[in-house]
Amino acid sequence: METSIIISGFGGQGALFAGQVLTYAAMDNGMEVTWFPSYGPEMRGGTAHCVVIISDEEIGSPLTRTPTAVIALNLPSLDKYEPLIQTGGVLIGNASLIDRELVRKDINSLLIPANEIAEEIGNHQMANMVCLGALLSQIPILPLGAIEQALKDHLPERKMKWFPANVEALKRGKEFALKVKA
């Protein structure tokens, strides 16, 4: 089965990093995977998104027109990708930067105050991991332990000081999503 995920936000929000971690976790667990990043010419503040496709079979294309799931870290990403999600798919939106109601009723959607949860952890840059944890509670393609292991195995040494916060952000995102969906 193939699962296609778009993670999108402003440059600097960690959309590409979240996709990389998900990709490493899938690859380390023997799955077929592609990671296709895209970003605007601006380093911070421009647009950035990636497409991650995870499958148990060979993947034909690294792109998707109708993703299984979307993480929208900001309003422009929500506006662009909400209409494209497959019926029955999943949308995780960062309520901290989205000021409108979700339109689609034929998908499983959740707005999560990712920035506020990240601030509670002590680092506003963890909103991406909060949303990834929430997503994995809705589409269990990989357990959080696989993401934790990927962080441990692939996070550059200079960034290892953020490992505990990343793990906490994943757990808090998952807990929030499970509580809201209960």
Task: CATH number of the domain at 44, please.
Answer: 3.40.920.10
Provide the domain count of the chain: 1
Q: What is the pLDDT of residues 100-127, one digit of tens each?
A: 999 999 999 999 999 999 999 988 899 9
CA distance 19 to 142: 13
CB count within 10 Å of CB 180 equals 12
What are the tokens at 36?
A: 């296709």
Q: Which domain holds residue 153?
A: 2-181
Q: Is the pLDDT of residue 42 over 90?
A: no
What's the pTM value of the predicted model, to 2 decimals? Answer: 0.94
Query: Is 52 exposed, middle or buried (CB count within 10 Å of its CB: 0-12, 13-18, 19+)?
Result: buried
Dihedral of the alpha carbons of 80, 110, 103, 47, in degrees to the nearest 10: -10
Q: How many helices (H) and strands (E) does the chain have?
A: 6, 6
The pLDDT value recorded for residue 11 is 85
Q: What is the pLDDT of residues 47-91, one digit of tens each?
A: 899 999 999 999 999 999 999 999 999 999 999 999 999 999 999
Q: Alpha-carbon Rg of the chain, whole angstroms?
A: 15
Indicate the pLDDT class of residue 134, thresholds 50, 70 and 90. Answer: very high
